Structure formats: structure tokens, C-alpha cells
Chain A
Amino acid sequence: MTVHGDSRASAFRRTWRKVAASTAVLGTGLFLASCAKDSPQDTWKPKGDAARKIDNLQRPVFLVAGIVGVLVCIAVAYAIARFRDKGQPIPKQSHGKPALEIVLTIIPFIILATIGAFTARTIVQLADTKGCEMTVNVTGQQWWWEYDYPVTEGNQKYGITKPIVTSGELVIPAGTCVLLRETSRDVIHSYWIPALNGKKDAVPGRVHENKLEADKPGYFAGQCTEFCGLSHANMRQWAIALSEADFAKWVENQQKTATVYAETDESPEAVGYRAFRQNCSRCHQVNGMQNADGTPTIAAPENNIVAGSAPNLTHLMTRSRFAGETFPLLNEECTDRLTKAASDQLGAVYLEGVTSSCLNRAQLEAWLRNAPEEKPMYVKPDAKGLLRGMPNLGLSEAQIDSIVTYLQTLK
């Protein structure tokens, strides 16, 4: 090779090294940057008993798997380096050594049997639901979760004397084991709050138990994890653990019914009340709402929706998100305040609810203007005239305005 060629080759090598080095630095930097940011659904950050049991099991398993992987890579790399064809004679045509073979079969067997024993123990522990005082019925449907707190002996201890029906956000007392009884009204969904426990499918026609317990008050993200059709990606849930005192306040508020406005009342709230009753109460229940003749307004979602259910909106403004937890009901600033609240502050912030200064009004209005534009849903009626999701109701801007005004009273 000529001198010129040599220098060109080494220049190339230098450039290459520079590129490689800067790529490595950049890559590492980006890697660290991306790790620094906590992901709310991180599966390795348990904040409750069940999730911690899982975490204690999975960490050593991942470690062992990693070590085995590295060993295999080293063995292959060694074989590549050591036994490349350097003109050595054709090796002896050996078909293997049975003794070595058996030893190398027994080693993985022992490793796996050990992992198996610990796995078995954890499976049994996680299935044990004794000592779960509270019960919440969790029902999935396209594409939101309903929570129903029945009046049971255990629940009464927490002040639940009237059934509470809410949606999207599961509110639980911290430090208490809560038994979820999951089912579905249409297709299969799966309930998952990674910080508190693994997934459990909600299957129509079956009730599956799953327990959640949060160590401390907190705001825990989750998501439906069984593919459930068009808007599966938008079927979210959060679990909010409150201190016992805060939880008692929440329970007390949830059991109240909504304000009734006189038919003659012309205040903006009362106009919105009637607009809601006319346009929304076919599907959405507001406890306490009355018809013009004074009879209670009972929503009939079963006549309109395939799943036969729509979120109960009696206390809409106590939730931080809406529409299957797809959209924030709080504006950006107030969302930040809630999600970044310290554990001991969380209850106070959450119980404030959606104040008028915090309301994400634009998003709520957009939803009322044309819901299927915001979140994909099947709103073409099927053969029986039923929908899956909220249709475009064709509301006027004035109606939207007054309905939003009314919704703000649902605290």
C-alpha cells in the first residue's frame, strides 16, 4: 500500500473513532437523560405490597437471566476468536461428550427449579386475599372503567353507607388492602396499576379478584392492557390513595346528591341543568337530578349503548381526568400540582377537585362539541340502534357553554 493510501486509511480510522466516540457519549447522555425521567407506569417501582412482592421476585430473576446471557455471549465470542480458521487441521469428528452434555442439562435445570420455587411461593402469596377489608367492584367497558363501592361490612368501616358509583379514578385509603372484584360489560379488558400490582383481566361473565394496597397516599397511573377495540389506547385509569382522614372526606362527599334547580330558575347553572337533562341524561346519571314533574331523572344507557352503561357524573369535578381518563380535566398547571404533590399534600390537592381556575375548559368544550372527533369511538348505531361511545350530539355553542357551567357544579 502506498504512503498516501496509508495516511488516508489512518485518517479514516481517526474520523471513525471520533464518530464512534461522540456517538457513544451522545448515546450514554441520552440514555441517562431518558432514565432520569421517571415513567409513571414503571414496572420496577413498587409503591404497594403486592407490587413489591413481585419486584422482589423479578429483580434476582432478571439478574440471573442477565448473567446467563453474558456467559453465553462470552462463550460464543471466545469460540469465534479462538477457533477461527487459521489453517489448523480439520478437527476430530467428535459427536459430543454425553457426560458434559448431562451436566450442562442439569445446570439450567437447577437454576430454573430454584427460580420456580420462589415463583411458586409468590404466586400463592399474591392469591391470598384474606385481610382485604375493603371491596370495590370494577367493571370495564369500551373504553372506561366504572367503580362501584358496595355497602359491605368491611366498607361500612370506611363510612360507605350508600353505594358510591364513580369512574376512571379509583380512590382508595392508603395502607389498606382493597379487593377489586373485576368484570366487564362487553369485551375483555385488563386492570393494571403497575405501582400497586400486576394485571388482572376483566372478563364478561366472570368475576376476577385482584388486590391493591398503597403504602402511602399517592397518584398512580395505569392503563387497560387487554386489547379492547378501537380506543383501547385511550382506556386509562388512575388509582388515588388517600390518607384515612382524607378518604373519609372523599366518601362523605361522594355520597351526596347533586343540587336540584327549580324549573323557573334562570341562573346559568339552572339553564345548564336543564340542557344536561335534555341532552345528556339519556345515558349519564346524576344522582338527585329531577325531571320537570319532580320525579327523579333516571338515565337509561341500556337503550343507547352496547355495554348498557355510561359514566355517572354526579361528582365529575372531583376527578382529575375525564372520558375514560383520556383527557385532563385540570389545566396543565393544576395537573402538575396534583401529579407532583408530595405524598402528605396529595389528599388536600386532590380533594380540592376541579376549581373554575383549574378547569381545562377548552378540552371539555371540544368533547361536548364533537366527542368522536376527540376520541375514536364506534358511534354508528348497530342493528339495534346502539352505540359504542359518545356520539356527536350537535350541541350549539350556547348549550355547550351552559352545560359546562352546570358540570362545574358537580363537585
Chain B
Amino acid sequence: MAIIEQPRTDVALPAGAGAPAYVTPKQAAGMFARPVAPKGWRDWVFTVDHKKIGIMYGVVAFVFFLIGGIEAGLIRLQLAAPNGKVLSADQYNQMFTMHATTMVFLFVMPMAAAFANYFVPLQIGARDVAFPRMNAFSLWTFVAGAIFVNLSWFLGGGADGGWFMYAPNSTKMFSPGHGVDFWAFGLQITGIASLVGAINLIVTCINMRAPGMSLFKMPIFTWMVMVVQFLLVFAMPVITVALFLLSFSRGFGGAFFDVKQGADPLLWQHLFWIFGHPEVYILVLPSFGIVSEVLPVFSRKPLFGYKFVAISGAAIGFVGWGVWAHHMFASGLGPISVLVFSMATMMIAVPTGVKIINWTLTMWGGKLKFTTAMLFAIGLIIEFTIGGLSGVTHAVAPSDTQQTDTYYIVAHFHYVLFGGAIFGLFSGFYYWWPKVFGRLLNEAWGKANFWLMVIGMNLTFGPMHIIGLQGQPRRMYQYDESNVHTRFWNAISTIGVFFLTIGILCFIVNVVITHRSKNPKVKAPLDPWDARSLEWMTSSPPAAHNFDAIPTVHELDEFFHRKYAVDHDTDEIKQIATAEDIMAEQMAHAEKDIHLPSPSYWPLVVSIALPIIGFGVIYSHIFIAVGAAVAIMGIFGWSMEPSVAPKDDFEPPAPTDGNIKELTA
């Protein structure tokens, strides 16, 4: 079904004013009518707008960031001193399992999805993603899965096998509670969300780019997102299989990991890491994309070696499939496998190094502005380099057999994921906040946020290198000094968490004061950073239809090249247009009627069915039937909802000048 959105008639700047006139269908073929331009919470819950979905992804993910952070804080409190008594062994095991699960699956992945949803269509000059209802389905399915995993806290305790959930420790005999069941089925549900979202974004990137935007004119963030979506499409099925094997072993007497019946427990490890290693790139590549946008903008230079960065991203995506067993150097693979995976792992450091070099060279010779977004991007270069280099020491398999499963590796991947993925996401928050909300986050609070997080993360994770090299294994609810003398560094590490906490509070305070402020200065100008890519050619926040006229792309960094040109006499770069000029130009050529998809109830209905089936798997099989019935009803309603409305289905009748742009619904 469709909304006809009419472009604004007032060309008053700054844009964003003037509610679009929605014209929507009265009824859908025999089923419930499609929701019509709903207001209030309904506007959000039934929306298929990629921007609203992106914001909701972000809000939910941020809530889980805080939950995962509280879990991390409890872990560090427990380890602040030898023989900690904050948590019991059982609680501690649940805490580190859920901390990792939450941060990986419920924060970094969906937060990257939030950015991807919001900015990919804007960056490629599209009005929405390819399948807007599928997009809503992804969001709600993710939310359903995330809540489902965390319900275990209230229904007998969280999963306690570590996020890697090695069999047979995760089987019913060794983890008799329901925690692992909730974990396995919950991740199965969030996996569906990732897969659906991945296909959606791949189709969007390939089919919906603005005219003239070849793949090598596509903004680098969109490039990295596209690589990640391909990784998801191939990685998710593997974890799906693994999780089904686990669920069937636990719930239905499957013997996939029962050694007595001839199973080999290494099966789980291979499946998990064939998913798990690409997953690392799934987590970090979107952030690489973000800083590859931010660094050029604040260096006033294009990304150095754009094609190299794009191709090295794709190369990481490919080689990332051939390194999974470096997580298993100690698990008894045999020297040939160890050797091959050790070499492959070293080779993946090359394209990663290319990125670091290119970012540094992007800044080289630039005209640097140190906004908070830029600081986080530079922070990523440094912190990720540290994590990458400790990664190289892990690629040296013999050395890894000493350091794996100690705090050294905990330090390594927190530098990669906190210093890499999370710094990138924060850079993105500050960079794109004015685009999404039309308000500029406060730079003073932002800088406090940045410096506290830098100090906090180095205090928290830096000492873990030493703790690990001194031989303290990870996943221990207590340590005592009979075998590790790490009291001092553990205390420092816990102190670091307080800095991190205050840093993240600064961000929250920043958001609150920015949105409460009546000061006209917080209102974002049209182009606050003098940016380079298409998403800045819209109002802030963008109208529902994104672009009044779909721009034709001639250059990489199209927006920059519309603003600036080389003066042939002086060979200097001169401004030839302002953002306002370009916006006005767009409005002048606005398409008369823009056809956008209508909201829908059904994605939400199908999503809700999935956790019901999950309860059925865990408690009573009747619920499987109930959930399936809801799902079938939802799918039926969904498919009966016409994607293209007949013309007489509009009120007032659709315009007849034939200038309707169709989008799939």
C-alpha cells in the first residue's frame, strides 16, 4: 500500500518544516485495513520508514549497551580484589556469558544495523530500503529475540556456558537450567532478524543506488555495510545450524555432542567459530565505515586510497572465512591445521593494516578539525592498532597457546571491539546526530565523553595485557595469590570501569541537555560539518521521502563536489555553492508526487510469534502450535496486504498526472 506524500510547497529554509500531506488507502483486500498515517506510538510501532526503524534499532541497542555495561561492571567489581565475594560462582558465570552475548548480539550488531538502516538509503540516494516491511520485521524480531534471551534472568537464571557455549558443557547434563535454552532460541530469533536485514540491505545497495552512482562512487560506509551484509548472509546459517544442534541436543534427546554415542565435541567449536570469526568483522567493519566517513570530512580531504579501503574491506570479508581455527590453537587440531590457520591469520592482518595506513594518510596533509566525532575516529585508529598488534601476537600459534584463555586475549578483543567497534559507533553518534535529530550534541560534553572513555578503556583493558601475561586465566569468578600476583593490575582495571561509566554518563547527559535545550544554537544547520556525501543533501532530520528529487551522482563525495570546485586560474579549491543552495535547487526540481509505502501491522505480528514458539520449545509444546498459528496468521495478513494500491483506493483520489514514483511496500 502506499502513501502519497506531497513535497513541501514552502521552500523556506532550513527545511524539515511542514507536515507532509498523507493520503492513504481506506481498506485492504478483505483483511484489516492498513494503518493510516498513525499518530503517537502507533506511528513508530507500525512504521516501515527506514529512518524510524533505524532510530528504534539504536534506542533498543543502546539500552542493551547499558545492560551489558552493568554486567561488565559487576564482573570487574567481583575481580577488583582477590577472592571477590560480590557474585557467586554461578552468578559470575552467567554474568560473563550474558555480558558478551549482550554486547555482541544485542548492542554492537543492532547498533550497526541502526546506522545501516538510517544511512544506507540516504547515502545512496534512495527513499527507503528495498523491502520496507521486511525491515520492520527485522527490527521487531531482533527486539523479540533480545527480550527473550534476557527473560532467562527472571526464569531460573541466565545462560552459564560462556558466549562461545562450548559443548558438551552447554548440554543438558552440564547446564541443567533453562538459561542455555533461552540463549539458543533467543539468538536463533535475532539471527532471523540479521539474515532478513542483510538480504534487505544487499538488495538496497545493489538495486537502489541513485543514477550515476557506480559501486566505486558508493560512500565507504555503505561499502562496509554491504560487505557486512554478505558476511551475515553466509555466517548466520552456520550459527543457525549450530544452535539447532544444541537446542535439539538439549530439548529432544539429540546426540550431536554426546561423546558416549560417538560425537566429537569439536564439531561445535568448528561451527561456532566459522560463524564466530566472520562475526568479528561483522562487528567491526561498520565502525570502520563510519570512521572512513568521519576522517575525510574533518580532514577536508577524500579518503586516501578509497578503492584500496573498499577492496581491503571486501578482502577482509573473504579471508575472514579462512581463519576461524585460530580460536582453536589449543584444542588439539594437529600441527598442519595449526600452521595453515596461523599463516592465514597473519595474512588477514595485511588488509587490516592497509586500513590503518589509509586512515593515517587521510589525515596527512589535511586541514584537521578536532570535533568529538573526529576524536573518536582518531581514538579508533590508535586503540584498534593496539588491538590489531596484540592480534598478530595471537596469530603466532605457539605464543597463542600461552596467552589464549588468559586476560591477554580479553585485553586484545576489548581493544578491537571497544577501541574499534564502539569508538566507531560513538564517532557516528556525534557525526550523524544533527542529521537524525536536527540538533548538535554539545561538544564540551562530547569531549569529556571522549577523554573519559579513552582513559577508562585504557585503564580497564590495558592492565589486562599484563594480568594475562602474568598467567591469570579468564572466566574465573575468583583468583587468589597462590598462582597469580595480579592484585594491583586487577584493582587498576576495576578503577578504569568508573571512568568508562562516567564517560558514558556524559554521553547520556549530553543527549538529554541537547534535547531539552531551548538555545537556538543547538539547532543543527543544514550542513554542520561541511560534509561530503549524499545524506547531507537532505533536510535535518530528513523528510519521510528523504530527497525531494533523487540526485544524479557524478563523483565520489558528490555533495562536496557540488559545493566546491578547483579554480582553474589559481588551482585552489573554491566554494561554488552552499548546502542551502543545493537544497533549494533540489526543492525546485522536487518530484510532484512521491509514493512511499504505508505502515503495516503484520511485521510486528509475525515477530511476536517467534518468542511464543520459543516458550513452546522450552516449556510446553502446545505453545509451538500457538506461535505457529500466530505466525501463519501474520504471514497471511502480510501477503494479502496489497503492495500497490489501486488508484481509486486513495482518498482523495490519486493524482492523475502519472508522476507517481512507486516503491515496493
Q: What are 10 inter-chain pairs, A to B, with CB distance below 8 A?
A: A54-B398, A57-B396, A80-B368, A85-B368, A93-B566, A112-B392, A204-B259, A227-B405, A233-B475, A388-B174
| B342 and A83 contact, CB distance less than 8 A | no
Residues of B within 8 A of A164 (CB): none
Give 8 A-B pairs besides A94-B304, A198-B398, A233-B477 with Cβ atoms closer than 8 angstroms. A37-B485, A40-B471, A40-B485, A61-B393, A65-B392, A69-B389, A112-B347, A227-B161
Q: Mark B365-391, 1 if CB is under 8 A from A, else 0.
A: 111111000000010011001100110
**CB nearest neighbor in B for A386:** B173
* Contact bitstring A67-90, B, C-beta under 8 A = 1, else 0: 011001101100110011100111
In the complex, the answer to whether A116 meets B342 with C-beta atoms within 8 Å is yes
Residue from B173, B339, B364, B482 in contact with A79 in the complex, judged by beta carbons closer than 8 Å: B364
Interface centre among A182, A194, A306 (most CB of B within 10 A): A194
Does A230 have its Cβ within 8 Å of any Cβ on chain B?
yes
Q: Which of A5-13, A218-226, A361-369 contacts B (4 or more CB under 8 A)?
A: A218-226
Q: Which residue in B93, B398, B482 is a CB contact (below 8 Å) of A230?
A: B93
CB of A43 within 8 A of CB of B363, answer no
A101 an interface residue at 8 Å Cβ cutoff? yes
Q: What residues of chain A lie closer than 8 Å to B346, measured between beta carbons?
A: 112-113, 115-116, 119
* Distance A234 CA – B560 CA, assembled complex (angstroms): 60
Contact among A84, A101, A113 with B308 in the assembled complex (CB-CB below 8 Å): A101
With A43-B469, A89-B573, A123-B397 in contact, do A194 and B402 touch (Cβ < 8 Å)? Answer: yes
**A85: chain B residues within 8 A (beta carbon):** 300, 367-369
Chain A residues close to B by CB (< 8 Å) = 30, 33-34, 37-44, 51, 53-54, 57-58, 61-62, 65-66, 68-69, 72-73, 75-76, 79-80, 83-85, 88-96, 98, 100-101, 104-105, 108-109, 112-113, 115-116, 119-120, 122-124, 126-127, 142, 182, 186-188, 190, 192, 194, 197-201, 203-206, 208, 221-234, 236, 306, 328, 376, 382, 388
Which residues of chain A are near B70, meaning CB under 8 Å? none
Q: Contact check, A190 vs B405: say whether CB atoms are below 8 A apart.
A: yes
In the assembled complex, the Cα of A313 lies from the Cα of B572 at a distance in Å of 86
> Do A83 and B365 touch across chains, with their CB atoms under 8 A apart?
yes
Selected interface stretch from B56-64, B144-152, B162-170, B228-236: B162-170
B173 touching A123 by the CB < 8 A rule?
A: no
Contacts of B174 in A (CB 8 A): 142, 186-187, 229, 388
For B275-313 the 0/1 string (1 means CB < 8 A from A) is 000000000000000000000000111111111100000
Q: Which of B103-111, B198-206, B350-358 contacts A (4 or more CB under 8 A)?
A: B350-358
Which residues of chain B from 242 to 264 have any CB-CB distance to chain A below 8 Å in the complex? 259, 262-264
**B472 contacts A by Cβ under 8 Å:** yes
Q: Which of A61, A83, A105 contacts B299 (CB 8 A)?
A: A83
Size class of B's contact patch? Answer: 35 or more
Whether, in the assembled complex, B489 has its beta carbon less than 8 Å from a beta carbon of chain A, the answer is yes
A66 to B388, CA, bound (A): 11
A192 to B88, CA, bound (A): 25
Check A232–B360 contact: CB distance below 8 A: no
Contact of A221 with B475 in the complex, beta carbons under 8 Å: no
Bound: A43/B466 CA distance, A:
10
Q: With A and B bound together, what is the CA distance between A113 and B395 in angstroms?
A: 12
CB pair A382 B483 closer than 8 Å? no
Chain B residues within CB distance 8 Å of chain A? 88-90, 93, 160-162, 166, 168-169, 173-176, 259, 262-266, 299-308, 330-332, 334-335, 338-339, 342-343, 346-347, 349-350, 353-354, 356-358, 360-361, 363-370, 378, 381-382, 385-386, 389-390, 392-393, 395-406, 408, 468-473, 475-479, 482-489, 556-557, 560, 564, 566, 572-573
- B385 contacts A69, C-beta separation under 8 Å: yes
CB distance from A27 to the nearest CB of B (A): 9
Residues of A within 8 A of B471 (CB): 39-43, 194, 221, 223
Collect the chain B residues with CB atoms within 8 Å of residue A30's CB. Answer: 488
Do B484 and A39 have beta carbons less than 8 Å apart? Answer: yes
B360-A230 in contact (CB<8A):
no
State which of B265, B353, B484 has its C-beta within 8 Å of the C-beta of A188.
B265
Contact B265 A199 (CB under 8 A): no
B302 near A93: Cβ-Cβ < 8 Å: yes
Residues on B with C-beta less than 8 A from A186 are: 168, 174
**Chain A residues with CB under 8 A of B382:** 72-73, 76
- B89's partner among A119, A127, A230 (CB-CB below 8 A) is A230
Contacts of A233 in B (CB 8 A): 89, 475-479
Given contacts A65-B389, A96-B308, contact A123 B342 (CB under 8 A): yes
Are B470 and A229 interface neighbours, CB within 8 A? no
A contact residues around B89 at 8 Å (CB): 230-231, 233, 376
Q: Are A208 and B332 in contact, CB atoms less than 8 angstroms apart?
A: yes
Looking at A101, A126, A224, the one whose CB has the most chain B CB atoms below 10 A away is: A101
Q: Are B367 and A225 within 8 A (Cβ)?
A: no
Known: A90-B300, A115-B346. A122 touches B398 (CB 8 A): yes
**Min CB–CB distance B86 → chain A (angstroms):** 14
B526 CB, nearest partner CB in chain A, Å:
19
Contact check: which of B168, B338, B365, B396 meets A61 at CB < 8 Å? B396
Report Cα–Cα, A91/B358, bound state, in Å: 16
In angstroms, Cα B295 to Cα A76, docked, is 12
State the CA gap A309–B553 with chains docked (Å): 72
| Cβ contact of A376, chosen from B90, B398, B475, B573, cutoff 8 A | B90
Lowest 3 CB-CB distances: which A-B pairs, in order?
A: A41-B471, A198-B401, A233-B476
Q: Is the CB of A39 within 8 A of B486?
A: yes
Give A326 to B399 CA distance when docked, in angstroms: 27
A33 cross-chain contacts in B, Cβ below 8 A:
488
A306 to B174, CA, bound (A): 9
Among B358, B471, B486: residue with most chain A CB under 10 A: B471
Report how far A88 CA is from B366 CA in the complex, Å: 9
Contacts of B395 in A (CB 8 A): 115, 119
CA distance A40 to B166 in the complex (A): 28
Check B398–A104 contact: CB distance below 8 A: no
Could you say which of A115, A119, A203, A229 contacts B332, with CB atoms under 8 Å apart? A203
A98 to B305: give the CA distance in the assembly, Å.
Answer: 7
Tell me if A54 and B259 are in contact (CB < 8 A).
no
Q: Which residues of B contact A376 (CB under 8 A)?
A: 88-90
Residues of A within 8 A of B487 (CB): 34
Contact B479 A108 (CB under 8 A): no
Contact A221 B482 (CB under 8 A): yes
Contact A42 B470 (CB under 8 A): yes
- Smallest distance from the beta carbon of B547 to chain A beta carbons, Å? 24
Pick from B93, B339, B482, B484: contact of A120, CB below 8 A.
B339
- Whether A84 contacts B339 by the Cβ 8 Å rule is no
Residue contact B389 to A94, C-beta cutoff 8 Å: no
Which residues of A sit under 8 angstroms from B339, Cβ to Cβ?
119-120, 123-124
**Chain A residue with minimal CB distance to B347?**
A112
CA distance A234 to B478 in the complex (A): 8
A68 to B365, CA, bound (A): 22
State the CA gap A119–B396 with chains docked (Å). Answer: 6
A32 CB to nearest chain B CB (Å): 11
A91 and B564 CA atoms in complex are apart in Å by 12
A227 is contacted by which of B162, B363, B365, B482 (Cβ under 8 Å)? B162
Report yes or no: A200 in contact with B332, Cβ–Cβ below 8 A: yes
Which residues of A are found within 8 Å of B560, using beta-carbon distances? 93
Find the A residue at minimum CB distance from B381.
A76
Bound together, the chains give a CA A192 to CA B300 distance in angstroms of: 52
Report Cα–Cα, A229/B93, bound state, in Å.
8
Shortest Cβ gap from A71 to chain B (Å)? 10
Q: Please indicate the chain B residues that have their CB under 8 angstroms from the CB of A76 in the complex.
A: 360, 363, 378, 381-382
Q: Which residue of B lies closest to A228 (CB)?
A: B169
CA distance A194 to B477 in the complex (A): 20
CA distance A188 to B397 in the complex (A): 20
Query: Do B360 and A54 have beta carbons less than 8 Å apart?
Result: no
B residues less than 8 Å from A53 (CB atoms): 398
Q: Which residues in A have their C-beta under 8 angstroms from that of B470?
A: 39, 41-43
Given the known interface contacts A39-B486, A190-B330, the answer about A120 and B342 at a Cβ–Cβ threshold of 8 Å is: yes
B488 touches A75 (CB 8 A): no
Inter-chain contacts of B469 with A (CB < 8 A): 42-44
